[in-house]
C-alpha cells in the first residue's frame, strides 16, 4: 500500500509540478531526460522509514553538464507546493536527484553492449536499480533501450561471473577454516566479516540463476523471494539464516560452523548444477602466467598471486580452484581488489577508487612495488581529499543503514552492515595514519593498535561482539557516531575534509559519486 501511494504521489509531483516547470522554462530538455522512481517504492517494499527519490536522468553526458545546474536552480526557485509536502511523511521527504547514464555508471553497457570487458566490469546492482525502477516520465524510451540492450548478461559473461563467485566462496571457506585454527582474538570478527562476504556471493549466484541482476546489498537478502519460488534456492536462504541466528553458539564450536558452511556450499553447487568435465592438475607455470606474482617482504607467507586475466576459461578456473586449496599461494581474483585497473594508464579519482587499499598494501609490502607506477601508492592531494570525503560519507551512510535495519527488524542487514562499518573505520584510520588497510589474511591486532585512536579494536577483540549487536545495538551505534566525530575532527584539522562534508553529507554525495564504489569490494 505504501509503495502504491508513493508511486502515485511521484506521478502527481512530476505531472503537476516538475514537468510544467521544464516545459515552461527549459523546454529544450524535455526529450533529453527520463524521470524514474527507484529503491523501496519501486520494489514494492516501502515503509515509514523509506526515502522518496525521483531521479532525473540525462541520456547524454554533454546535456547533463549543460543543463543540470539550470534545472537544479529552477526547482529551487519554485519550491514544492505544500499540498505535496503534507503528504510526504518520510525520512528525508522527496528529493530530486540529477544524474546521467555516464555518472550512473551504466553508459558503457548502454552504448557498447557487445563489449565483453564492459560486461565483466559492470556493477551488478546499478543495472538492477535502473531496470527495476518505475518509469514516471520517459518520452525518448531511455529505460526501454537499456532493457533491450542489457536485459541480462550474455551467456559467456554469466558463466564467468558465476564461476568467479564460486571461486571466491572457496577462498572464503579456506579463510574461515584458517581463522578457526588460530588463537588470535580477532578470529570472531574476521570470521563474521568473511561469512557475510561468502553469503553475498551466494546471493549473487542465486539472483543470476533466476535471470536477474542482483540488487543493492541492503535489499539483496530481502528481495530474493520476489524472484524465485525454487525450493533449492529457498533452502539456501534458510541455511544462511540458520547460521546467522546460531552464530554465537557456532563460534564456540568451529567444527560445527565449518560443517554448516560445507552444507550451504554443497546445496549451492547442487542447485546451480555446478559440474565440469574439465580435469586438470596444479600447473604452477600456467598459473603464474595468469597472474602478477608478489613475494611479500619480511613475511613467512606464501606467494601472492594477483590474477590479471579477465577472461578465464573453465580449465583455468579449475586450475585456480586447485591453487586456492593449497598452502603454497594466496590468490586474489581480478575483480576482488581491482587488479585489472593497475594496468590503466589514465589514473584519476575514478580509477583510484576502483583499486582497493588492500591491494596497495600488498604492492607496498612486496617486490611488485617496482612494477607499479608511483601514483598508485602516492596519490595527488586532490584524489586523497576526495577519497577522505568519500570514506566519511560512506561511514555516515552505512551507520544510518544499520539504524534503519534495527527499526525494520532486518537482522541480516544489521549484522552485515556492522561488519562493513568496522572495516571502513579501519580503512579510514589507516589512511589518516598514512597507511593502507591490511588484507584479512595478514591482519593483526598489532596493526590495528598502530592506527587506532577511537578504540575500534574493542570490537575486533570482543568475543561478545555478536551478542552486543543482538541485545544492545544502541551501544554499537552510539560508539560509531562518537568514533566518526573524532575522526572527522582529525581529518578537518589536517585539511582533508571540509566542514560541509561533516554538516551536510548529502550535499557532497554527487561530487564523490559514492554509488560507483561503495559496494565494489564487499
**116 and 194 inside one domain:** no
Instruction: Give the residue, 139 or 310, on which the prediction is more confident.
Output: 139
List, for residues 474-497, the tens digit of each pLDDT value: 999 999 999 999 999 999 999 999
**32 and 169 inside one domain:** no
**233 and 272 inside one domain:** yes
Q: Is residue 356 part of a domain?
A: no
Last residue of a domain, one of 150, 178, 199: 150
**408 and 480 inside one domain:** yes
Number of domains composing the chain: 3
**442 and 481 inside one domain:** yes
C-alpha cell, 44? 514494492
**121 and 94 inside one domain:** yes
State the average pLDDT for the chain. 89
Rg of the chain, C-alpha, whole Å? 23
Instruction: Give the residue, 106 or 368, on which the prediction is more confident.
Output: 106
Q: Is residue 341 part of a domain?
A: no
CA distances from 103 to 58, 197, 373, 384, 501 (A): 10, 27, 27, 20, 20
pTM to 2 decimals? 0.93
Task: Tell me the mean pLDDT in the region 277-295.
Answer: 79
Q: Which of 39-48, 54-63, 451-460 has the highest mean pLDDT?
A: 54-63
**222 and 143 inside one domain:** no
Distance CA 72, CA 303 (A): 53
**129 and 262 inside one domain:** no
**What percent of the chain is modeled with pLDDT above 90?**
56
Contact between 379 and 352 (Cβ < 8 Å): yes
Given this model, what pLDDT does residue 49 score?
Answer: 78
Q: Residue 86's pLDDT band (boundaries 50, 70, 90)?
A: low
pLDDT surpassing 90 at residue 375: no
Of 139, 132, 143, 160, the closest CA to residue 99 belongs to 143
Q: Is residue 308 part of a domain?
A: yes
Q: Is residue 359 part of a domain?
A: no
Given this model, what pLDDT does residue 105 score?
Answer: 94
List, for residues 391-406, the tens digit of each pLDDT value: 999 999 999 999 999 9
**DSSP string of 120-142?**
HHS-HHHHHHHHTSEEEE-TT-H
Last residue of a domain, one of 128, 150, 172: 150
Q: Cβ atoms within 10 A of the Cβ of 421, count?
A: 23
Q: Residue 416's pLDDT band (boundaries 50, 70, 90)?
A: very high
Residue 268's domain spans which residues?
155-332
Given this model, what pLDDT does residue 429 score?
Answer: 97
Residues shown for the chain: 522
Instruction: Give the residue, 187 or 164, on which the prediction is more confident.
Output: 164
CA distances from 513 to 57, 125, 350, 393 (A): 15, 15, 9, 10
Given this model, what pLDDT does residue 302 score?
Answer: 67
Q: Is residue 95 part of a domain?
A: yes
Task: Tell me the mean pLDDT in the region 288-299.
Answer: 81
Q: What is the CATH number of the domain that holds 112?
A: 3.30.460
Given this model, what pLDDT does residue 5 score?
Answer: 86
List, for residues 309-329, the tens digit of each pLDDT value: 888 888 888 888 888 888 788
Q: Is residue 478 part of a domain?
A: yes
Q: Is residue 376 part of a domain?
A: no
Q: Is residue 111 part of a domain?
A: yes
Given this model, what pLDDT does residue 207 score?
Answer: 95
**62 and 202 inside one domain:** no
Task: Tell me the mean pLDDT in the region 119-143.
Answer: 95
**200 and 316 inside one domain:** yes
Q: Which of 197-211, 237-251, 311-325, 361-375 has the highest mean pLDDT?
A: 197-211
**DSSP string of 238-286?**
HHHHHHHHHHHHHHT-HHHHHHHHHHHHHHHHHHTT----------HHH
List, for residues 327-342, the tens digit of each pLDDT value: 788 899 888 999 989 8
**145 and 161 inside one domain:** no
**126 and 9 inside one domain:** yes
Last residue of a domain, one of 88, 116, 150: 150
Amino acid at each position: 500500500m505504501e509503495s502504491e501511494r508513493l508511486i502515485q504521489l511521484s506521478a502527481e509531483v512530476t505531472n503537476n509540478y516538475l514537468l510544467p516547470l521544464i516545459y515552461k522554462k527549459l523546454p529544450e530538455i524535455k526529450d533529453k531526460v527520463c524521470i524514474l522512481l527507484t529503491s523501496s517504492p519501486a520494489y514494492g517494499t516501502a515503509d515509514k522509514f523509506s526515502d522518496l527519490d525521483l531521479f532525473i536522468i540525462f541520456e547524454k553526458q554533454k546535456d547533463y553538464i549543460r543543463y543540470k545546474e539550470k534545472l537544479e536552480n529552477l526547482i529551487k526557485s519554485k519550491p514544492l507546493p505544500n499540498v505535496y509536502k503534507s503528504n510526504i511523511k518520510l525520512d528525508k521527504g522527496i528529493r530530486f536527484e540529477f544524474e546521467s547514464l555516464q555518472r550512473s555508471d551504466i553508459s558503457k553497457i548502454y552504448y557498447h553492449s557487445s563489449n565483453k570487458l564492459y560486461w565483466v566490469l559492470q556493477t551488478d546492482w546499478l543495472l538492477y536499480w535502473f531496470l527495476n525502477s518505475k518509469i514516471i516520465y520517459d518520452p525518448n524510451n531511455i529505460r526501454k533501450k537499456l532493457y533491450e540492450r542489457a536485459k541480462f548478461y550474455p551467456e559467456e559473461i554469466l558463466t564467468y561471473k558465476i564461476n568467479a563467485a564460486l571461486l571466491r566462496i572457496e577462498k572464503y571457506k579456506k579463510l574461515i577454516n584458517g581463522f578457526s585454527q588460530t588463537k588470535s582474538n580477532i578470529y570472531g570478527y574476521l570470521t563474521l566479516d568473511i561469512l557475510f562476504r561468502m553469503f553475498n556471493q551466494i546471493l549473487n549466484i542465486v539472483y543470476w540463476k533466476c535471470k536477474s541482476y542482483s540488487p543493492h546489498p541492503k535489499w539483496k537478502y530481502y528481495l530474493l523471494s520476489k524472484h524465485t519460488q525454487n525450493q533449492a534456492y529457498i533452502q539456501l536462504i534458510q541455511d544462511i539464516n540458520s547460521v546467522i541466528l546460531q552464530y554465537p553458539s557456532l563460534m564456540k564450536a568451529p567444527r560445527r560452523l565449518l560443517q554448516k558452511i560445507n552444507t550451504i556450499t554443497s546445496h549451492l553447487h547442487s542447485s546451480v548444477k555446478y559440474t565440469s568435465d574439465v580435469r586438470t592438475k596444479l600447473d604452477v607455470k600456467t598459473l603464474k602466467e595468469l597472474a602478477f606474482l608478489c613475494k611479500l617482504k619480511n613475511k613467512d607467507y606464501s606467494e601472492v598471486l594477483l590474477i590479471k586475466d579477465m577472461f578465464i576459461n573453465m580449465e583455468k578456473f579449475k586450475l585456480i580452484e586447485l591453487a586456492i586449496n593449497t598452502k603454497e599461494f594466496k590468490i586474489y581474483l581480478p575483480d576482488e581488489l581491482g587488479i585489472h585497473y593497475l594496468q590503466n594508464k589514465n589514473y584519476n579519482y575514478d580509477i583510484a577508487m576502483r583499486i582497493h587499499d588492500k591491494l596497495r598494501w600488498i604492492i607496498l609490502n612486496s617486490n611488485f612495488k617496482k612494477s607499479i607506477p608511483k601514483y598508485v601508492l602516492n596519490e595527488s592531494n586532490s584524489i586523497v581529499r576526495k577519497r577522505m570525503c568519500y570514506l566519511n560519507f560512506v561511514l555516515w551512510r552505512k551507520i544510518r543503514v544499520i539504524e534503519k535495519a534495527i527499526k525494520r527488524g532486518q537482522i541480516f542487514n544489521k549484522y552485515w552492515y556492522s561488519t562493513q562499518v568496522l572495516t571502513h573505520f579501519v580503512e579510514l584510520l589507516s589512511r589518516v595514519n598514512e597507511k593502507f588497510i591490511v588484507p584479512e589474511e595478514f591482519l593483526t591486532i598489532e596493526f590495528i593498535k598502530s592506527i587506532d585512536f577511537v578504540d575500534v579494536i574493542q570490537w575486533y577483540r570482543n568475543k561478545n561482539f555478536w551478542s552486543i549487536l543482538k541485545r544492545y545495538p544502541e551501544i554499537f551505534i552510539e560508539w560509531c557516531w562518537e568514533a566518526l566525530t573524532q575522526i572527522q575532527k582529525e581529518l578537518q584539522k589536517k585539511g582533508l575534509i571540509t566542514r560541509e562534508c561533516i554538516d551536510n553529507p548529502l550535499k557532497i554525495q554527487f561530487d564523490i559519486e559514492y554509488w560507483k564504489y561503495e559496494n565494489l569490494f564487499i
